[in-house]
Structure 1
């Protein structure tokens, strides 16, 4: 059975809209799934899950699950895993809950990435897809620290986002990306540096241009055993 924190009734303790919503604004949320599908999110999620190599019975956290697309994909690919999706947006979580239709193995929690409501060393894998660029620069170190804290020793964070070694040669979208204030903090080695500062070892597992959003890069960060 899906276990939920009631998104319609609960508010984040830091207040509403001190985050960038998944679709940019609440009014666009009904179109979010279609928009991300057109951008190829399903293929990105499959690649991220392949890198994550989730074992049967693993406890898996998604930080910034939005409307639950990656959370549901993880459960479909790994039905014996225990999947928890977190997000600070109650409207997005309400949609995720509705799409889950009472499936076993999924729990949704209203939570900020920098203040996760879990004990230390709870999860074997943590996933994050296109979430980091939503987070203000001053909050990112706390996010990385929480991801580290809640992973078991030897556990891994698998993260994909816009950014990495973006160059103008990656195309028009990449050239616009170089001056986008939401993603400039992801460029170059900024993400590995952030994760290493929290105690992770970190490597880039894949990076490729994307015609619509510039460049997407995948990372594997491991909490040392």
Structure 2
């Protein structure tokens, strides 16, 4: 997706390169830390697992996952080189790669878990479908994609932020059962794990999408 103000073919981590120094502060203010902890608890990462985070930005979830399970191989991926540089400065011992979520530099069936936090709502429908197909490709049979994002069964009763998002044409691909439908079309067995109203994000919904087959490692 192109950001005209930045002349990129991706959306910078803070929406604009100029805002990147404030990204972590804004992210915490929006409540992303709690979202990351909840998603990580659902992921069931174990020692020996290979874990990819797509759209890692400045690496907050990647760092949290690696520190929670030091024996896992956790890799953060993002197309924004400036965000990755900040991630590497924060956690020099953790691996970060420049990559688009729809074109990951990893072999077929090489990952046990893929994580996505508050990223998919930025993508258009075509790119979202490509990301679903690519994560299916890189996961082992039995491997899982864990998603936390804005949307799901959001209604006006979820508050002012939700009412604003419900008027957004851009967020339509995240509302109702749109994400589970897309993931099932890519071949995943998909279920909604949790959904709750959120003061600043309207509603956050968590999904578990499993690539069918024998359980991964």
TM-score (norm 2): 0.93
Give the one of 169, 176, 179 matched to 2:164: 176
Unaligned runs of 5+ residues in structure 1 are: 1-15
In the TM superposition, what is the alpha-carbon distance from 1:181 to its structure 2 partner?
A: 3.4
Is 1:165 aligned to 2:156, yes or no? no
Q: 1:211 aligns with which of 181, 199, 211?
A: 199
Residue 18 of structure 2: aligned partner: 27
Q: Which has the higher helix share?
A: 2
Q: Does 1:38 align with 2:29?
A: yes
Contact 2:183 2:209 in 1 (8 A): yes
Q: TM-score by structure 1 length? A: 0.90
Question: 1:1-225, aligned counterparts within 5 Å?
Answer: 17-100=8-91, 102-103=92-93, 106-225=94-213
> Distance between the aligned counterparts of 2:147 and 2:18, measured in 1?
27
**TM-fit CA distance, 1:44:** 0.8
Q: CA RMSD in A?
A: 1.2
C-alpha distance in 2 between matches for 1:138 and 1:53: 30
- What secondary structure, in the 3-state scheme, does the structure 2 residue paired with 1:139 have? helix
Shift of 1:38: 1.3
Instruction: Verify the 8 A CA contact 1:61 1:83 in the aligned structure 2.
Output: yes
Structure 2: unaligned runs, 5 residues or longer? 1-6
- Cα distance in 2 between the residues matched to 1:172 and 1:55: 39
